[in-house]
Amino acid sequence: MTTSSLPKPSSKPLPVAGFIDFALRDRKLFTHPLEATRTLYSLYGPVVMHKLGSWRTVNMFGPDANGLVLQNRDGIFSNKLSWDMIIGRVFPNGLMLRDGDDHRQHRRIMQAGFKKPALVNYLAMMNPIIDQRLGEMSRPDNDVSAFKLMKLLTLELAWNVFVGTSAGQDTHKLTHAFEETVAASMAPLRIALPPFLLWRGIRSRQYLVDYFAGLLPEKRRSLSRDMFSILANAEGENGEKYSDQEILDHMVFLMMAAHDTTTSTLSSMLYALGKMPEWQERLREEVRALGKSAIDFDDQDRLPLMTLVMKEALRRYPPLPDFPKMNTQAFEFDGFQVPADCMCVLHPIHTHHMEEYWREPFRFDPERFSDARAEHKQHPFLWVPFSSGAHMCIGLHFAEMQIKAILAQLLQRFSWRLPDDYVMPVQQSPISKPKDGLPLILKTLS
């Protein structure tokens, strides 16, 4: 493997760097993407190419790169070609793995499940479940694994609002299946044979497909407003409907996205609020000022401090640290010529920590998103945890609502702290999460 800056027209490429040790020995670009990308950016600047035989990866850094690729005005950057290589064996044909008219058609049909009337209905379904699950935890002192707790809760919530029923005794099996399927996307050995990780992921995906397939006939007849029923009966502009396989593919991908990324963000927020008890108390008072035990849909805008903390958590710990795209044509960026058929990788986790834009970027500082400072507004593509353009996360408003609904009840029931001198070890890929489950010490409030 070699690494170099891309040559400008009529200029010579920079000398090949010793990246083979950096990539193959430490694998830091995968295990520690923030550290790795900061090193690459400091050595080579905003565009860096890696070559391994005929394979070419182009790392692109900064908000200008984000804007060029995510807006995709010339239609040359493909989500499908890139994500198929990464997760196509375990999440085929999900919305993120589609391009162009095909993507627009599927997104348009699916959008009905994320409009305000649907979200209002979802929140009404979620609040009693949150209340019940947090109530089961109430005791004088309670040591918990916050990540595990949030993952089980968000999966249960997603199951109820998207599938329209409780997973019940299958919750742990389903959680394990989703975990193995996601983990398989980063399997170092792409061998679909036992006992390798990719094989386990494909097996777990089949379990999920079979589970949804068993429910599909009922959903075809249902008039319910859960996402599964909406997809099963949705029609496009010309009366076209999803096939059975399309519905199953969408449900597997949606259920993963609906709880994994939310769990990641909630874990980061709980960690930050455990580190900063003054902010934890500020949020608690903000929620109490609403005068209700659970929030309604329109209460979300009345929680501006919670919004600041959420945005800062998404800056410091974006659930997806990288956005890969394949370019089907050559293009120019910052004076560099990028050849066709490269894996072009954006790095939100790097952009979110650039000293050129963020004041003390490694400090957790929610006020940077306040109207007075608005550091994120220096460039429209500086803060991109949900991507942007045609592929902006379709469920971002659902995620924000779910996060606020959980935190609003959690803050009123509990205070929490971290073990002494604790620093959260973060696994940044494929989805950001605490490596140790995030130990919290909960105290039930009177």
For the chain (446 residues), the mean pLDDT of every run of 10, in chain order, is 59 39 50 86 87 84 98 97 94 94 91 91 95 87 90 91 83 87 84 93 96 95 88 81 93 89 96 98 98 98 98 97 96 88 95 98 98 98 97 95 98 96 90 94 91
**In 11-99, alpha helices (H):** 19-20, 28-31, 33-44, 63-71, 79-87
Longest Cα–Cα distance of the chain, Å, equals: 72
| Segments of 135-201 assigned E as strands | 141-145
Give the pLDDT confidence score for residue 5 in this predicted structure. 66
Q: In Å, how far are 152, 220, 375 from 382, measured between CA atoms?
A: 32, 42, 9
* Residue recorded with tokens 């089961």: 136
Q: Is 9 exposed, middle or buried (0-12, 13-18, 19+ CB in 10 A)?
A: exposed
For residue 208, the cross-strand partners are none
Kindly state the tokens that stand for 418.
């971290």
36 vs 345: CA distance, rounded Å:
13
Cα 107 to the chain's mean position, in Å?
18
390 vs 346: CA distance, rounded Å:
16
**What is residue 6's DSSP assignment?**
P
Give the pLDDT confidence score for residue 22 in this predicted structure. 42
> Quick check: 151 and 259 in contact, CB under 8 A?
yes
Domain 101-323+387-444, second-level architecture: Orthogonal Bundle (1.10)
pTM of the predicted model, to two decimals?
A: 0.92
| Segments of 211-349 assigned E as strands | 323-327, 331-333, 336-338, 343-346
Q: How much helix, strand and coil, in percent to the nearest 5, is found in the chain? A: 55, 10, 35
Q: Is 127 exposed, middle or buried (0-12, 13-18, 19+ CB in 10 A)?
A: buried
How many of the other CB atoms lie within 10 Å of CB of 193? 8
Hey, where are the domains in the chain?
101-323+387-444
Q: Is 443 exposed, middle or buried (0-12, 13-18, 19+ CB in 10 A)?
A: middle
377 vs 389: CA distance, rounded Å:
17
434 vs 432: CA distance, rounded Å:
7
Give the pLDDT confidence score for residue 241 in this predicted structure. 83
Cα 6 to the chain's mean position, in Å?
30
315 vs 322: CA distance, rounded Å:
13
Please name which of 259, 264, 258, 274 lies closest in space to residue 411, comparing C-alpha atoms: 274
158 vs 108: CA distance, rounded Å:
21
321 phi and psi, to 5 degrees? Answer: -75, -20
**In 318-395, alpha helices (H):** 348-351
Cα end-to-end distance, the chain, whole Å: 60
